[in-house]
């Protein structure tokens, strides 16, 4: 399949601080590509570079076949971008916002009313065209913002945390819309902090401290990143015991998940040893995506020390 984005050693420095550090990856046509990582990892900075809003310090990228440094304007005209703090005009109506963005993205005049109708249907805002955006709740605003970002039917869409701060129902509906767009041939790069959304992506990239730690499908990440036997334990004061547990010679990693600890053992045979050492039951679990990401973030922190 054809690569829609090719990034090579893309780097962004703010003064002495490196926000994005030699990131290289490829995204194929028709992929839902998830971009994950802790706060401040460099997700938005990468996306803003790929959209041509922020100039890279070094490295190169091709987006939709155009060179990011030399053909920025061509890229800007052809992509859709929904920023983390998306910008709708509160004092304009639903329809006026769509009309404004259609103008910005040069939607042909003869297609304008059809496109607006399509976006209103997609966002489930039929009958509310004349409502002021200020009066819409979070989930509706978010779908309208997506409508504004894709009104020109761009072949490539960047969505930066499009679902933060909205209800689970709205989030599910939002991802259904994304799936439909992708079936129609759009490529989507999306950042999220929600693991259920990450599971719905074809491939994921995990970035931490500006460095790309892993790129693969959710299933392959779960299979390959965590090597060993993972067990779950319910210990009172688990949080306080992490350091102590990590000192045990057969323990590779220990992370906290709500009230439970996930402990990665070098070998399944050490499960009984751990039970004796901790004085509690342990249960073998299949690592989740959250385990993968906690492990990768931890490794990056240790690497940078
Ligand atoms: N214009 C800027 N000037 C200086 N530092 C910046 C600038 N923009 C971003 N940074 C820093 O670069 C790092 C990466 O920021 P970025 O916004 O890309 O993170 P992120 O992965 O999107 O995080 P979040 O999940 O919180 O949105 C952060 O430490 C941030 O403070
Ligand atoms: Mg961000």
| Cα→Cα distances 66→31, 41, 60, 69, 281, Å | 19, 26, 11, 9, 57
Looking at the chain, which runs of residues are DSSP E strands? 3-14, 17-28, 32-36, 58-63, 66-67, 79-82, 156-160, 187-191, 203-208, 211-216, 229-233, 251-257, 260-265, 283-284
Looking at 31-83, which runs of residues are DSSP E strands? 32-36, 58-63, 66-67, 79-82
pTM for the predicted model, two decimal places = 0.90
Q: Is the minimum distance from the CB of 39 to ligand 1 under 6 angstroms?
A: yes
**Residue 21: per-residue pLDDT:** 97
CATH of domain 227-286: 3.30.70
Q: Is the minimum distance from the CB of 23 to ligand 1 under 6 angstroms?
A: no
Q: Using CA positions, which residue lies closest to atom 30 of ligand 1?
A: 40
**How many other C-beta atoms lie within 10 A of the C-beta of residue 89?**
14
Where do you find CATH 3.30.70 in the chain?
Answer: 227-286
Closest atom of ligand 1 relative to the 15 alpha carbon = 4
**Residue 1: per-residue pLDDT:** 67
Q: Are 185 and 276 in contact (CB under 8 A)?
A: no
**Residue 261: per-residue pLDDT:** 95
**Residue 173: per-residue pLDDT:** 83
- As assigned by CATH, the class of the 3-222 domain is alpha beta
Residue of 21, 39, 42 to test ligand 1 pocket, by largest number of atoms within 8 Å of CB: 42
Please give the distance, rounded to the nearest whole angstrom, from the Cα atom of residue 215 to the centre of ligand 1: 21
Where do you find CATH 3.40.50.300 in the chain?
Answer: 3-222
Q: Are strands 32-36 and 187-191 parallel, antiparallel or unpaired?
A: parallel
| Cα→Cα distances 40→37, 54, 127, 151, 300, Å | 8, 16, 40, 30, 13
Residues in the chain where the model's pLDDT stays below 70? 1
Which residues line ion ligand 2, judged by CB < 5 Å? 43-44, 84
Query: Which residue in this structure is represented by tokens 């971009």?
Result: 35
């Amino acid at each position: 399949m054809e690569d829609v984005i090719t990034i090579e050693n893309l780097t962004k420095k703010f003064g002495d601080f490196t926000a994005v550090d030699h990131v290289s990856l490829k995204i194929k046509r028709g992929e839902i590509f998830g971009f994950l990582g802790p706060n401040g990892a460099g997700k938005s900075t990468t996306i803003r570079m790929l959209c041509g809003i922020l100039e890279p310090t070094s490295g190169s990228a091709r987006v939709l076949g155009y060179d990011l440094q030399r053909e920025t304007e061509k890229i800007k005209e052809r992509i859709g971008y929904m920023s983390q703090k998306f910008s709708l005009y509160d004092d304009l109506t639903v329809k006026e916002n769509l009309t404004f963005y259609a103008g910005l993205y040069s939607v042909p005049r003869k297609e304008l009313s059809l496109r607006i109708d399509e976006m209103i249907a997609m966002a489930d805002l039929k009958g509310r065209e004349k409502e002021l955006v200020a009066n819409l709740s979070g989930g509706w605003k978010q779908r309208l913002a997506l409508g504004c970002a894709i009104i020109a039917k761009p072949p490539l869409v960047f969505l930066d945390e499009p679902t933060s701060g909205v209800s689970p129902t709205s989030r599910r509906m939002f991802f259904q819309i994304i799936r439909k767009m992708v079936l129609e041939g759009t490529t989507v790069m999306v950042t999220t902090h929600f693991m259920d959304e990450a599971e719905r992506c074809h491939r994921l990239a995990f970035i931490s401290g500006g460095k790309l730690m892993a790129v693969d499908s959710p299933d392959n990440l779960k299979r390959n990143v965590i090597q060993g036997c993972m067990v779950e334990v319910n210990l009172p004061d688990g949080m306080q015991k992490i350091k102590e547990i990590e000192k045990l010679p057969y323990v590779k990693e220990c992370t906290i998940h709500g009230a439970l600890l996930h402990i990665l053992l070098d070998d399944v045979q050490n499960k009984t040893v751990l039970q004796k050492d901790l004085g509690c039951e342990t249960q073998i679990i299949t690592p989740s995506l959250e385990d993968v990401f906690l492990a990768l973030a931890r490794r990056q922190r240790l690497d940078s020390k």
